[in-house]
Structure 1
Amino acid sequence: MKAGFAISHSQKAWVVGNNNVEMTVTLLGAQMAPVVFDRNSRHPIQPYYISPWQGEGLKMPVQLLAPLRGDFFCMPFGGNATPYKGEKHPPHGEVAGTDWELAGCAKKGAVTTLSIICATKVRRGKVIRELSLVDGHNVIYSTTRVDGFEGKTSMGHHAILAMPAKEKSVLVSMSPFKLGLTCPHQFSRPENGEYQSMAPGAEFKSLSRIPTIFKNPPIADYSSYPARIGYADLIGLFDQPKDGVSWTAAVNTEENWLWFALKNPKQMPARLIWLENHGRHGNPWNGRNCCMALEDGCLYFDAGVAESAKQNIISKRGIPTCHDLKKKSPFSLRYIQGAVRVPAGFGKVMDVRFGLDQVTFVSVEGKKVSMPVCHSFLKNGQL
């Protein structure tokens, strides 16, 4: 089986699909979008964001912004402004802004897999990504294998969702977390034409009650989006780092679909939410971006490898913010993303129930939607 090739929103890309899902992955940065779930239905679902500067020919301050879209793997995760042991990594690492190569595309039984590879230079090694589709599943199963690396690094996924025009029409929820904390440093800097609404370094227990920089309101609801036009914010939610399944769900009440992600919190204890609502005015943003990123990983906010590898306010709580890789021991990270149609009136997800190769989402209204998902993939890598 061969992967298709296309120019998608100004970027060279591979295109792979089955009867349920079609995914497009850019050569530059291996950024995954557009993705069409439920592709043969009357109402296909396209949840991922694609940046508005595609085709404009703008000079980018960092390479990963050129294709910016959908989900992509970051290593080291973060801005990486501070060098680490003589290494100077670009923002989110070479893997997010360099060309990948096709390693193969194959269909075995019900499973179709795109395999791509990136050889890094700042810290030499190879990163192999396998993106798999299963017939009958509106799901993407991702395995990222890190081979030949030595030393500590932050890493994670960076899934960016498109936002509808209607305010507060996307409802976000997740499994219980150990620690909620707004970005401890200033995330958006006015001197750079950026503005934030959250108070830095504030702890919280619920997305619906987060401290702001304002006297009125001093507390705001950040569980529904888009909201607060003119601001860009970053939230951190940290799980107990133990084996299991941790979930995130975003319900689009305008288009009646639900996007979700599943992770193993032992490997990825952190979950960042980047809320961008026309809050950045420098190049190439120019005040026109409205999106939400749900970023799962092992990391210290958006800082980078140097800050993630040393003791910080998160690691002091017993939550790791980096992985210590060994050259002779390949490291694998597995992740699940998918989407499903929900009935009108299906609100915020309050619970996720895991059956045999099935997941059921339960809304606050008591409505239920089930779909086939091999969630055991997170543990055993089997489909």
Structure 2
Amino acid sequence: MTISRTADHHRLSARGIDLGFDPDCGFICDLTVHDEGRSVQPMHRVPWIGETLPSDTSPHLHRMQGDFFCAPFADGGGTAPIPHGWPANAFWSITAHGPQMLEARLVRDVEGATVTKKLTLQDGHPFVYQSHRLDGGSGTLSVANHAMVTLPDGGLISFSPKTSFRTPSQPPESDPACGRSALAYPAIASDPRAFPAADGGTLDLTRYPFRPGHEDFVVATEAPGSPLGWTAVVRLGRGDLYLSLHNPAQLPMTMLWHSDGGRDYAPWSGRHRACLGVEEGFAPHMLGEEGGLALGGSLDIRHAIGCIAWPSEARVTQVAAAVDSLTVTGETGESRSVPFDLSHLFP
């Protein structure tokens, strides 16, 4: 188990899992889990990496991939003049690292707060444990982890209990010359399998894609009292399963970005397909509401992502955590228990 730097990526590895970290924009890259004789690589990369883009393109968009941290999320206020804030667009200086751990500090402050990222792997655990600590600063801040899952053959999406699924007031692209959406905006549903469609009827948010050639964004709000926030994505045709885990009291919103060829302008050009964003965070402004996480002290935002072999490709019905394990159950009765450090989410 060694750590090295290849090109601009730092490598972390533990028994059964490895990844790269790109300090320029803070991407988790090339996450690979070795499980039950297969190597699972669930994360998405944009297809234009390496191409020359217009000079006004946001830094993170040049080679967007894997997972990265946003503060503020989208265009959620604050002083950063760039979508997703400085954590997604500035350099992270490595302050500590070892074979299974890396710590980095953002070279820009966020609303006066210093930001420290920590990534940790554990032998035998199919998860990346990540935290983002914001020290100091003032005001409130929207945040989100911006993981992207690649689903070339489609997928089945399940969630911890939610109170509602809502679209913002406007679609991602309001100009038909730029792109198109399949969902109604704004709209709300309690059942994700029957969400209002733009052309009438309903669409099933738990299936990817629910319609080809669209760009859509939905916010799911955690049910009160939920003990564990989770999103499970079965990757059809791949025999595996992506998992996203969080503390619902800290990050009560799961934001789903369905991107499947619905943007027509460069660099998207109708070719950004098979991407599902699973973005755990707190960004009330996306629904026209006030609020955010309060800065001023020490705010530590925890998240875990990972993947396991899931040969049945059955829809997940339950994810339950114990102190040192996680059990995933499918709709036809299959079950897997894997090592998991619950104390990371609930220190």
Structure 2 counterpart of 1:340, from 308, 314, 324: 308
Offset, 1:134: 0.3
Offset, 1:79: 2.2
State the distance in 1 between where 2:324 and 2:110 align.
40
Structure-1 residue corresponding to 2:325: 358
SS in 1 for 2:87: helix
SS in 1 for 2:6: strand
- The CA RMSD measured in Å over matched residues stands at 2.0
Structure-1 residue corresponding to 2:51: 56
State the distance in 2 between where 1:204 and 1:227 align.
16
State the distance in 2 between where 1:213 and 1:47 align.
30
State the distance in 1 between where 2:105 and 2:303 align.
17
TM-score, reference length from structure 2 = 0.93
Decide whether aligned partners of structure 1 residues 347 and 273 sit closer, same or farther in structure 2, where only a CA change above 3 A counts.
Answer: same
State the distance in 1 between where 2:315 and 2:110 align.
42
Offset, 1:2: 7.2
The answer on whether the counterparts of 1:3 and 1:114 sit within 8 Å (CA) in structure 2 is no
The answer on whether the counterparts of 2:204 and 2:210 sit within 8 Å (CA) in structure 1 is no
Structure 1 counterpart of 2:190, from 205, 223, 226: 205
The answer on whether the counterparts of 2:183 and 2:216 sit within 8 Å (CA) in structure 1 is yes
Structure-1 residue corresponding to 2:23: 27
Structure-1 residue corresponding to 2:121: 133
Structure-2 residue corresponding to 1:155: 143
Offset, 1:61: 2.2
State the distance in 1 between where 2:20 and 2:70 align.
18
State the distance in 2 between where 1:94 and 1:379 align.
27
The answer on whether the counterparts of 2:71 and 2:110 sit within 8 Å (CA) in structure 1 is no
Structure 1 counterpart of 2:202, from 206, 215, 219: 219
State the distance in 2 between where 1:251 and 1:93 align.
30
Q: Which runs of 5+ in 1 are unaligned?
A: 316-320
The answer on whether the counterparts of 1:47 and 1:162 sit within 8 Å (CA) in structure 2 is yes
Offset, 1:148: 2.3
1:231 and 2:214 correspond: yes
In proportion to residue count, which structure has more strand?
A: 2
State the distance in 2 between where 1:35 and 1:189 align.
34
Offset, 1:288: 0.5
1:15 and 2:7 correspond: no
State the distance in 1 between where 2:195 and 2:123 align.
41
1:109-163 C-alpha deviation (Å, 9 max, x unpaired): xxx2111110325633311111000001111111111112211110110100111
1:266-293 C-alpha deviation (Å, 9 max, x unpaired): 1101110000010011121111011000
1:292 and 2:276 correspond: yes
1:183 and 2:168 correspond: yes
TM-score, reference length from structure 1 = 0.85
State the distance in 1 between where 2:177 and 2:224 align.
36
Offset, 1:224: 1.1
Percentage of identical aligned residues: 25
Offset, 1:14: 1.4
State the distance in 2 between where 1:370 and 1:74 align.
31
In the TM superposition, 1:1-383 aligns within 5 A as: 3-7=3-7, 12-38=8-34, 42-59=37-54, 61-80=57-76, 84=78, 87-106=79-98, 112-121=100-109, 123-164=111-152, 166=153, 169-191=154-176, 193-215=178-200, 218-240=201-223, 244-290=227-273, 291-300=275-284, 302=286, 312=289, 321-326=291-296, 329-344=297-312, 346-380=313-347
The answer on whether the counterparts of 2:32 and 2:41 sit within 8 Å (CA) in structure 1 is yes
How many aligned positions are there? 345
Offset, 1:336: 1.1
State the distance in 1 between where 2:132 and 2:109 align.
18
